[in-house]
A and B are shown apart, each in its own frame.
Chain A
Amino acid sequence: MHQERGANRAMPDAATQLDIYRRMIRIERNDDATIRTIKQGRLQMPYYSARGQEVIPSAVSVNLNPDDTICTIYRGIHDMVAKGVPLRPLWAEIAGRVTGTCKGKGGPMHITHPESGVMVTTGIVGSSMPIANGLAWAAKLDGSRRVTVAYFGDGASNIGAFHESLNLASLWKLPVIFVCQNNRYAEHSRFDKCTAVDRVAKRAGSYDMPGETVDGNDPFEMYAAAREAIERARDGGGPTLIEAITFRFLGHVFGDDDKYMDKAEKAAAMARDPIPAFRARLLESGVATEQGLADMHKDITAEVEDAMQFALGSEFPSVDELRRDVFATEIAL
């Protein structure tokens, strides 16, 4: 059951286009500063860069309200930034500081920020989906119009949790949107070497839910698909599977070499960098001016720099934190 690609699909207006672009730049500037700080030896963390995947959560998140929720994965800082997690506590968390979103106890793979709707970040492939169902079930029991987005990668579409979750979501008509960021590699294995179908969206058919493959680097296509799925979920129409085709520019984990990648494929993907492409489109259509985008870039760079300084200047958590939050009541060591 694939969606028709009609000419009358939802289009982001000028302000929304700029909103998407701004979120993308915040993600990209944040990624750039993270890598720089790791290289300087001032951050010690496993880093799963999402450079190249900026469009997807940006075009999704402009359709979400602050009280809509997301569950994301270890490669998910772009999803969090797009959803609106403030950069200071985000940075403090990846730096393991007490001022972090989770007091430094979760780190980059487990960032949680309920005020922004970031409810779970999991380091386990596929595990965002079963929990997203529960959040959507809660929204439904509340009688609210809240929706939940579950982000995951192409590798996760081969794990059992994906199939159990899609089945239950469809059966219970849950307001959840499954967004597969198909960046073509599961760790070091190419998509077609570990996936029996050529498109993840085909799997929606097994669960009788709408499924669609879109160009995840095209802000207009991504926006339209996300908007339709989110509105359907809000209106009680149940879940959707969106497969957003993209590419991760910096490999599985920061520092890995790319010998397992096809060089020509990688070069072609990087030539389709979504950020300069969208920038050119905004300028060409007159939605943005050179000066306007330069100012945006400058402001965001300063915001990221401020967050980084805030984080590195913050205290580490006290060792007493080992006894706290294991249970609601502090335990004796």
Chain B
Amino acid sequence: MSAPTTKMNALQAVNAAIAEAMAADPKVILLGEDVADPEGGGVVGTTRGLSTRFGDDRVKSTPISEQAIIGAAIGAALGGYRPIAEIMLMNFTTIAMDMIVNHAAKLRFMSGGQSQVPITIHMLTGAGASTAGQHADHLEAWFAHTAGLKVVAPSCPADYKGLMLSCIADPDPCIFIESMRTLFVPEDVPDDQGPIELGRANIIQEGNDVTIVAYSGMVITAREAVKKLAEEGISAELIDLRTVAPWDRDCVLASVRKTGRAVLVHEAVRSFGVGAEIAATIHEALFGLLKGPVRRLGAPYSPVPFSKPLENAFLVQPDAVVAAVLSVMG
């Protein structure tokens, strides 16, 4: 008999995680633009119901002031709280970059361990919704490149809940990325879904011929590719990274050691991306065992475009993943 589950989408899963954390710990607080119920409980309703349930002191809508939002979160964290700050869209973190990169990420180190900044910054992003150049970037490589930040990018409702619970409980600042393409499809989430450890990847499907590593919205794309590959008799192992920083080297390296081939897929621009870091690590660790070069797939070196054909060409499509796998199968 399987454990009881509830059908919910990723937004509802995030909401459930925050509600659970707020109920369990009075130090968990929430702030951001439009997050309280009079303002709609978030621009896509992620935080709906929370201000009504937990009160206006703990759930605060803010002005459109990203520096002030993250600054207040950092200060409240230094004062003993566990703030969750909502930045509406990932591109808007650029307004708060000083607070995130110069302060949240570094205060523990610069204070010699005296300060801790247990904040979770959650944000929407992703191409495909016709929002063009300033509302859809995947900037996770910037954050992953900054010592002191954890970067989390789930792909399914259960992981959204489990990883959000872990981010809130984590003693360090976490960037929590909500990919547009993963948000709205309901799936079964175990009623007792607890925290999922940060830094642990998930093997979605086992396989022997090639390792495909993806995260966030690209897991959906990679799943389709894996199905098509199976039809052609290729057994792909699909790894959902779940956490970009720190990433699960052990899981990825063990898989590539087995398959000898790796294809890395992310939505962000390919150049200088997360895939480059993983590819370099694979080459350093497993060079002699590889049966072909590690392939990276990502967006072309371009801002996110508006026009539909351009947007479709910007996003990695399942067929491109299939082609990349075939090219390394030899």
Q: A134-B76, A134-B77, A328-B116 are in contact. Are A110 and B71 (CB under 8 A)?
A: no
Q: Among the listed B67, B75, B150, which residue makes an inter-chain contact with A138, where contact means beta carbons less than 8 Å apart?
A: B75
Q: Among the listed B63, B78, B116, which residue makes an inter-chain contact with A168, where contact means beta carbons less than 8 Å apart?
A: B63
Q: A112-B111, A138-B75 are in contact. Are A130 and B102 (CB under 8 A)?
A: no
Cβ contact within 8 Å between A325 and B109: yes
A167: chain B residues at CB < 8 Å are 63, 65, 68
Q: Among the listed B71, B77, B172, which residue makes an inter-chain contact with A127, where contact means beta carbons less than 8 Å apart?
A: B71
Decide yes or no whether A76 CB sits under 8 A from chain B: no
Q: Among the listed B72, B79, B150, which residue makes an inter-chain contact with A130, where contact means beta carbons less than 8 Å apart?
A: B72
Cβ contact within 8 Å between A139 and B114: no
Q: Among the listed B80, B83, B113, B115, which residue makes an inter-chain contact with A324, where contact means beta carbons less than 8 Å apart?
A: B113
Cβ contact within 8 Å between A120 and B103: yes
Number of residues in B with C-beta < 8 Å to the partner?
A: 42
A264: chain B residues at CB < 8 Å are none
Cβ contact within 8 Å between B114 and A112: yes
Cβ contact within 8 Å between B57 and A112: no
Tell me the total A-B contact number using a CB cutoff of 8 A. 149
- In the assembled complex, the CB of A135 is this many whole angstroms from the nearest CB of chain B, namely 4
Nearest CB to that of A137 among chain B residues? B76
Decide yes or no whether A213 CB sits under 8 A from chain B: no
Q: A102-B112, A164-B65, A324-B113 are in contact. Are A120 and B98 (CB under 8 A)?
A: no
Cβ contact within 8 Å between B79 and A106: no
Cβ contact within 8 Å between B76 and A141: yes
Chain A window 90-131, contacts with chain B (Cβ cutoff 8 Å), 1 for yes, 0 for no? 000000000011111110001011100001101110010111
A110: chain B residues at CB < 8 Å are 110-111
Nearest CB to that of A324 among chain B residues? B113
Q: A132-B75, A137-B76 are in contact. Are A127 and B60 (CB under 8 A)?
A: no
- Interface class of chain B by DSSP: mixed
Decide yes or no whether A87 CB sits under 8 A from chain B: no
| CA–CA, A142 and B26, complex, Å | 10
Cβ contact within 8 Å between B171 and A138: no
| CA–CA, A79 and B147, complex, Å | 29
Decide yes or no whether B41 CB sits under 8 A from chain A: no
Which of A101, A119, A165 counts the most chain B CB atoms within 10 A? A119
- In the assembled complex, the CB of A275 is this many whole angstroms from the nearest CB of chain B, namely 31
B74: chain A residues at CB < 8 Å are 130-131, 134
| CA–CA, A139 and B78, complex, Å | 11
CB under 8 Å from chain A, chain B span 76-118: 76-81, 83, 98-99, 102-103, 107-116
Q: A127-B103, A136-B75, A325-B109 are in contact. Are A171 and B115 (CB under 8 A)?
A: no
B172: chain A residues at CB < 8 Å are 327-328
CB under 8 Å from chain B, chain A span 157-206: 160-161, 164-165, 167-168, 171-172
Q: Among the listed A136, A165, A325, which residue makes an inter-chain contact with B112, where contact means beta carbons less than 8 Å apart?
A: A325
Cβ contact within 8 Å between A127 and B75: no
Q: A120-B107, A326-B148 are in contact. Are A131 and B112 (CB under 8 A)?
A: no
Sorting the interface of chain A by its residue count into under 10, 10 to 19, 20 to 34 or 35 or more gives 35 or more
Nearest CB to that of B68 among chain A residues? A164
Q: Among the listed A122, A133, A161, A328, which residue makes an inter-chain contact with B108, where contact means beta carbons less than 8 Å apart?
A: A328
Cβ contact within 8 Å between A114 and B113: no
Q: Among the listed A127, A137, A324, A331, which residue makes an inter-chain contact with B99, where contact means beta carbons less than 8 Å apart?
A: A127
A122: chain B residues at CB < 8 Å are 102-103
| CA–CA, A139 and B79, complex, Å | 7
Q: A114-B114, A164-B67, A168-B62 are in contact. Are A141 and B108 (CB under 8 A)?
A: no
B113: chain A residues at CB < 8 Å are 103, 324-325
Chain B window 268-281, contacts with chain A (Cβ cutoff 8 Å), 1 for yes, 0 for no? 00000000000000
Cβ contact within 8 Å between B111 and A102: yes
Cβ contact within 8 Å between A172 and B79: no
A136: chain B residues at CB < 8 Å are 75
Q: A119-B115, A165-B68, A167-B63 are in contact. Are A135 and B78 (CB under 8 A)?
A: yes
- In the assembled complex, the CB of A169 is this many whole angstroms from the nearest CB of chain B, namely 9
A103: chain B residues at CB < 8 Å are 112-113
Nearest CB to that of A130 among chain B residues? B71
A104: chain B residues at CB < 8 Å are 112
Closest 6 CB pairs of A and B: A134-B75, A130-B71, A138-B79, A102-B112, A103-B112, A112-B111
24 A-B pairs with C-beta separation under 8 A? A101-B111, A101-B114, A102-B110, A102-B114, A106-B111, A112-B107, A114-B114, A114-B115, A130-B74, A130-B99, A131-B78, A134-B75, A137-B76, A138-B75, A138-B76, A138-B78, A139-B79, A141-B29, A161-B71, A165-B67, A168-B68, A328-B108, A328-B116, A328-B172
